Amino acid sequence: MNARMRRLPHAVSGDHALVLIGIGKVGSALMGLLDALRPTRLRLVGVANSRGQWTNFREFSGLDLGTLPSKLCGPRDDAALLAALDASGALHRVLVDASASEAVARRHAHWLGRGYHVVTANKCLLGGTLLDWRNVESAREEGCRYGDSATVGAGLPVLSSLRRLRACGDRLLGIEGVFSGTLSWLFNHFDGNRPFSALLREARSLGFTEPDPRIDLSGEDVVRKLLILARTSGNPLDRRDVQVDDLVPEELRNLPTDDFLASAGVMDEAIAARHARAHSRGCVLRHLARIDNDGCARVGLVDVPAAHPAARLQGSDNLFVLHTQRYGDRPLVIQGAGAGPELTAQALLADVMAVA
């Protein structure tokens, strides 16, 4: 066993001690899952949001999500969270990142290097610069686990499949799919009868978009997922290698969110025209991410024919079509609900459990 992972000389109770960073939609769902399951070998010893943390839970005894924020003590201090993990005496000390913070993501490699396992829904590091990716890869080789299932497809078995294929000598030749639940929902529902901006407002009111839907429409979140998939399959792509079709018109990019929502109708004519063109060719419009056989990586709207697997998507399904040497003519297709706090929390919990 790695010396840094030795059991610490304190009272031992439970194999896993857990710190949860981020108690928004996903973090709250994870706490709800823990509350429902009450896993005996796992203790939550700290939680944090951007303003503070609360540590030293003796056991997981059903946190009241309503009152939790008032219990957090500021200022935010990672040292308090790590001290709670160390004091737990647990065999496995795990930090779960359920934030979207770049600053938090930048600490992952450091934590791995200090002997903590990291489980993350936060894509900022793996989908960030190549240097960040490589830092995590080398820290991970030191023996600690880096659970990343929740970063793509909300835990659909796509990263695990890529790793398995690669370990068995198969080679990814190309990948395409719909990697955003939000953009999947929008284009699965858009039929040209209602303005796109009205559909966008509906999606937002249903909680299917980010509070600022430009984060979804820009395609940047999809780019991060594409980079993670490419890198996991052995292709060290950089952000500048990916062409992105930003759906937000230039004049709306820097407005405050409310002003953007009020002006979103500016997008309607262009998207309706793209829809009509696709329809006239017997196609539908889908937001696809692709890496072709020639290595060209693109993210944006594409006319897809009715026979394409993306044409048959429903709801906020994600789709991953993997073309490999062995899955040559008939690609490996992974499809299913690819968003939502509960599914994402489940993927985090599964990665935590896999630490053992």
Ligand X SMILES: NC(=O)c1ccc[n+]([C@@H]2O[C@H](COP(=O)([O-])OP(=O)(O)OC[C@H]3O[C@@H](n4cnc5c(N)ncnc54)[C@H](OP(=O)(O)O)[C@@H]3O)[C@@H](O)[C@H]2O)c1
Query: Does 33 participate in binding ligand X (rule CB under 6 A)?
Result: no
Shortest distance in whole angstroms from residue 105 CB to ligand X: 9
Query: Does 73 participate in binding ligand X (rule CB under 6 A)?
Result: no
Q: Which is nearer to ligand X, 119 or 267 (CB)?
A: 119
DSSP 44-106: EEEEE-SS-EEE--SS-----TTTHHHH-BSS--HHHHHHHHHHT--SEEEEEE-S--HHHHT
* DSSP code of residue 237: -
What would the two tokens of residue 145 be?
């686990």
Q: Is 176 helix (H, G, I), strand (E, B) or coil?
A: strand
Return the residues of window 239-278 that contact ligand X according to CB under 6 A: none
Return the residues of window 164-183 that contact ligand X according to CB under 6 A: none
| Cis preceding-peptide flag for 75 (omega within 30 of 0) | yes
Shortest distance in whole angstroms from residue 14 CB to ligand X: 23
Binding test (CB under 6 A) with ligand X, winner from 344, 349, 351, 352: 344
Shortest distance in whole angstroms from residue 269 CB to ligand X: 30
Shortest distance in whole angstroms from residue 236 CB to ligand X: 22
Q: Is 171 helix (H, G, I), strand (E, B) or coil?
A: coil
CA gap 173, 165 in Å, rounded: 12
Q: Which is nearer to ligand X, 8 or 215 (CB)?
A: 215
Q: Is 299 helix (H, G, I), strand (E, B) or coil?
A: strand
Candidates 9-17, 46-54, 234-242, 266-274: pick the segment binding ligand X (CB under 6 A): 46-54
**Catalytic (active site) residue 25:** no
Candidates 47-55, 182-190, 235-243, 294-302: pick the segment binding ligand X (CB under 6 A): 47-55
Burial (CB < 10 A; 0-12, 13-18, 19+), residue 21, is buried
Query: Which active-site residues does the annotation give?
Result: 225
Tell me which residues touch ligand X (CB under 6 A): 21-27, 48-51, 76, 98-101, 103-104, 121-123, 150, 154, 339-341, 344
